[in-house]
Amino acid sequence: MDSPHGAAVSAEDFGLKGPRGWVFRGVGLTAPPGSLVAIEGPSGSGRTCLLLALTGRMRPTEGHAEVAGARLPGRAAAVRAFSALGPVPGVSELDPAFTVAEHLRERALLRRRFDGSPRSLLRPGAARAASRAAIDTALDTVGLDLASLPKAERTSVRDLERLEALRLSLALALMGRPRLLAVDDTDLKLSGPERAEAWRLLRGLADGGTTVLAVCSEAPEGALTVRTEDRRERTAAPGTTGTTGTSVAEDATTTTDAPGATAVPATPAATTTTGSTTNGKETA
């Protein structure tokens, strides 16, 4: 049973194949509402595509997933309606030329335009007040203090620190009160303390009931972890086949350290060996 805000996520034999081969394959996952799910792997291992597929933004090739009871790929539009993207390069990036205030106002206007009731058009004052309240709540939730920025809300995105930009992206996503939040490159270009702070922030959102999917190079302790494998490692593994310029199957395996969360082992592909996990250590 889903919580009022979070979305349960499950997947079985989930895979996506592109023009040059399998991007990811054999993913199995079971996560209750309010889980922090870390999609861990090296750059180029299909982790961003898996993130987008689980949020209904890429169509899988095989297997299926369910998000809050909506089965993918058939009900991708329903999943998109209650999920939101934080920072995803090439998909939902912040505009470096915009100020923080411009980004917040733009998102508020879009939400009023597409998610507001027709009655709100007759009461613009009330609609503006509601938008302001939504902005303030989102900023408070992610811990972004506009007064602390170099030029307050008039600070350009290009002048934000990496962690500040992450907070802004999350605030924009949270304005729609999503049940599922997806974040790419969570730990990219962050120092050790900043990385720890980013994970504390995402853990806080999950503890508040929102299910969080976060792509990273190294998963934090206690997160439900889905691991994607580098295609070069897969090509070099015994029993695999492949040719130059063509990627072979990139299977993902899952493990969990989170109480109440379970993971379903990936199914081995016919031409590959699929890793398994034992006590957090991967074996062939």
pLDDT of residue 267: 32
Q: Could you count the other beta carbons within 10 Å of the beta carbon of residue 230? A: 15
Using 50, 70 and 90 to split pLDDT, how confident is the model at 261?
A: very low
User: How far is the C-alpha of 97 from the C-alpha of 66, rounded, in Å?
Assistant: 38
Q: Is 163:194 a contact under the CB 8 Å cutoff?
A: yes
pLDDT digits (tens, 9 = 90+) for 191-225: 999 999 999 999 999 999 999 999 999 999 999 99
Average pLDDT over residues 115-141: 74
Res. 238: pLDDT tops 70 = no
Percent of the chain at pLDDT > 90 equals 64
Pairing outcome for strands 70-72 and 62-67: antiparallel
Average pLDDT, the chain: 80
Report the distance separating Cα 127 and Cα 122, nearest Å: 9
Tokens of 189: 């270009």
Number of helices (H), then strands (E), in the chain = 7, 12
Q: Which residue has the tokens 């130059």?
A: 244
**pLDDT tens digit string along 40-96?**
999 889 999 999 999 999 999 999 999 999 999 999 999 999 999 998 988 989 999
Q: Under DSSP, is residue 265 helix (H, G, I), strand (E, B) or coil?
A: coil
The pLDDT value recorded for residue 209 is 95
* Section 115-142 average pLDDT: 75
